[in-house]
Amino acid sequence: MSGIVVTDAEGLRTIRIDRPEKKNALTRAMYGAMADALRDAATAPGVRVVFITGGDACFTSGNDVADFKARGEQQAEVPSPAREFLAALRACPKPVVAAVAGYAIGIGTTLLLHCDLVYAADTAVFRMPFVDLGLCPEGGSSLVVPQRAGQLLANELLMLGEAFTPETALRAGIANAVVPLADLFTVAEGAARKLATKPPTALAATKRLLRQAEETRLTTHMVEEFSLFGALLRGPEAAEAVAAFQEKRKPDFSRFLAAE
């Protein structure tokens, strides 16, 4: 479908986000296409590894703003397309490798928490700006980031919500390695192809064992995250954030009372 390109070659299923005119911003249809590709990969005998990329210019700038606004104006989607995509990503029994260049914003960062190997180009720019959008973290990030990065760095990344470097992503346990952009796909695809040569049953068992200790806790936590996210998405703070973006002005949250 438009915006998502799926190709298979030599045991590798590549899911490429391909909407450069919108900085690879994700729509509901694109989430659905990625979820379908992941679910199919889980049972396709010819697929041994999934490789996710946005190309060498941009990974993804996150949710498409128009699509995002429409979701805020509607009743909560249960489950939402983004939630379905993340569920398919987490459930994939085969290794998932990501190559990140350029912007990885919002879910562009949080989806990486559910990949098995993540390689970041030295051009990558990460950000989890949920609070600035009048929202709360999603994708399990409010549980996983503190576990990997420590509480203070997690507070910085999720509460201040500012852009951070590939080196910080490495320190926070979001990326395995930072490499020059020219080497990104050689390194990332090389790792994916190494995984594709390994015994598939043993590899799937290893992935399951590595994840199962936290799986129940993460599932419960993500249900709470998405519930709060949906409520905030329909709230006045998110509406102000979207309006300010569309009107190309700084949002004004001064009229909103502090939570007790």
Residue ranges in 158-260 assigned as alpha helix (H): 166-171, 184-196, 200-233, 236-246
Identify whether 164 is part of a domain.
Answer: yes
The mean pLDDT value for 137-151 works out to 98
pLDDT for 126: 98
Identify whether 187 is part of a domain.
Answer: no
Identify whether 190 is part of a domain.
Answer: no
Residue with tokens 């080497």: 183
pLDDT for 73: 53
- Ordered strands of the 117-121 beta sheet: 4-9, 12-17, 49-53, 96-100, 117-121, 177-179
CB 85 within 8 A of CB 52: no
The mean pLDDT value for 123-141 works out to 97
The mean pLDDT value for 105-120 works out to 98
Q: Which residue has the higher pLDDT, 238 or 259?
A: 238
Q: How many Å is the maximal CA-CA distance in the chain?
A: 59
Q: CA 68, 118, 120, 224: dihedral to nearest 10 degrees? A: 30
3-state secondary structure of 58: coil
CB 8 within 8 A of CB 192: no
Among residues of the chain, what percentage have pLDDT more than 70? 95
In the structure encoding, which two tokens stand for residue 102, read together? 């350029």
Q: Could you tell me the CATH number of the domain that includes residue 199?
A: 3.90.226.10
pLDDT for 2: 79
Burial (CB < 10 A; 0-12, 13-18, 19+), residue 248, is exposed
pLDDT for 80: 85
Q: What is the pLDDT of residues 163-184, one digit of tens each?
A: 999 999 999 999 999 999 999 9
Answer yes or no: is pLDDT of 68 > 90. Answer: no
pLDDT for 72: 54
C-alpha span between 161 and 158 (Å, rounded): 5
Q: Which residue has the higher pLDDT, 39 or 68?
A: 39
Q: What is the pLDDT of residues 40-51, one digit of tens each?
A: 999 999 999 999
Quote the strand ranges of the chain, DSSP E: 4-9, 12-17, 49-53, 96-100, 103-105, 117-121, 125-127, 177-179
Q: Is 55 left (phi over 0), alpha (psi -120 to 50) or beta?
A: left
Identity (one letter) of the amino acid at 31? Y
3-state secondary structure of 63: strand
| Stated pTM of the model | 0.94
The mean pLDDT value for 234-252 works out to 93
Identify whether 122 is part of a domain.
Answer: yes
Identify whether 5 is part of a domain.
Answer: yes
Picking from 193, 145, 149, the residue whose alpha carbon sits closest to that of residue 13 is 193
Chain mean pLDDT for the chain: 94
C-alpha span between 189 and 225 (Å, rounded): 32
Q: How many domains in the chain?
A: 1
- Out of 103-107, 145-149, 226-230, which region has the weakest mean confidence (pLDDT)? 226-230
The mean pLDDT value for 200-215 works out to 95
- Out of 64-73, 137-146, 202-211, which region has the weakest mean confidence (pLDDT)? 64-73
pLDDT for 71: 59
Identify whether 237 is part of a domain.
Answer: yes
- Render 108-127 in DSSP notation, one character per residue: HHHGGGGSSEEEEETT-EEE
Identify whether 243 is part of a domain.
Answer: yes
pLDDT for 66: 77
Residue with tokens 């999603």: 138
In the structure encoding, which two tokens stand for residue 72, read together? 């805020």
Neighbours of 65 (CB within 10 A): 16
Helices (runs of H) and strands (runs of E) counted in the chain: 10, 8
Picking from 79, 49, 51, 64, the residue whose alpha carbon sits closest to that of residue 19 is 64
Enclosing domain of residue 236: 1-182+195-260
Identify whether 189 is part of a domain.
Answer: no
pLDDT for 77: 52
Answer yes or no: is pLDDT of 96 > 60. Answer: yes
